[in-house]
Amino acid sequence: MKLLIADDSKAMRLVINHMLRQAGFKGHEIVEAADGTQAYDAIHKEDPELIISDWNMPGMTGIEVLQKIRSEGIDTTFGFVTTEVSHDMRTLAEGSGAAFLIGKPFTPDDFERALDKYLG
């Protein structure tokens, strides 16, 4: 399965990749994007089956990317890994079509719970 990890922090993209492996999700092809615009472009170019995105990124925010692809009829599984996790953000994410929202700091167990039905 091809996964897109979108985060403006290279270190966080590496941490997410590591957490995926620790959660038992190995052998997937990983594509990375360093901002929202790159993520949007990668979705169209790479056609990932799962998108893991930060919420706050330059270019386009993660929620803007999600809303834009949903408006285009793209229903790829999309979730967030973000520092800020408020009730309003959760409601907006779910209402926009996000499958999950994982708050930082996180553990491999958080990834396993959120992604098992998509990657398990």
Residue 42 has pLDDT above 90, yes or no: yes
Mean pLDDT of the chain: 94
Say if residues 81 and 53 touch (Cβ distance below 8 Å): yes
Q: How many residues does the chain have?
A: 120
Angle at CA 2, nearest 5°, toward 42 and 25?
Answer: 135
Banded model confidence at residue 96, pLDDT cuts 50, 70, 90: very high
Angle at CA 69, nearest 5°, toward 65 and 73?
Answer: 165
Number of domains in the chain: 1
The CA distance from 35 to 11, in Å, is 13
Residue 35, domain extent: 2-92+101-113
The verdict on residue 119 lying in a domain is no
Mode of pairing for the β-strands spanning 50-53 and 29-33: unpaired
Position 69 scores a pLDDT of 98
Model confidence pLDDT, tens digit, residues 6-33? 999 999 999 999 999 999 998 999 999 9
> Which amino acid belongs to residue 55?
W
Say if residues 78 and 64 touch (Cβ distance below 8 Å): no
The verdict on residue 14 lying in a domain is yes
**Over residues 73-95, mean pLDDT:** 92
Q: What is the pTM of this model?
A: 0.94
The verdict on residue 67 lying in a domain is yes
The verdict on residue 70 lying in a domain is yes
Banded model confidence at residue 104, pLDDT cuts 50, 70, 90: confident
The verdict on residue 118 lying in a domain is no
Say if residues 81 and 52 touch (Cβ distance below 8 Å): yes
Residue 88 has pLDDT above 80, yes or no: yes
Inter-CA distances, 107 with 32, 47, 104, 111, Å: 20, 27, 9, 7
The CA distance from 8 to 78, in Å, is 17
Position 23 scores a pLDDT of 92
The verdict on residue 41 lying in a domain is yes
CATH number of the CATH domain containing 105: 3.40.50.2300
The verdict on residue 30 lying in a domain is yes
The verdict on residue 60 lying in a domain is yes
Position 84 scores a pLDDT of 79
Banded model confidence at residue 85, pLDDT cuts 50, 70, 90: confident
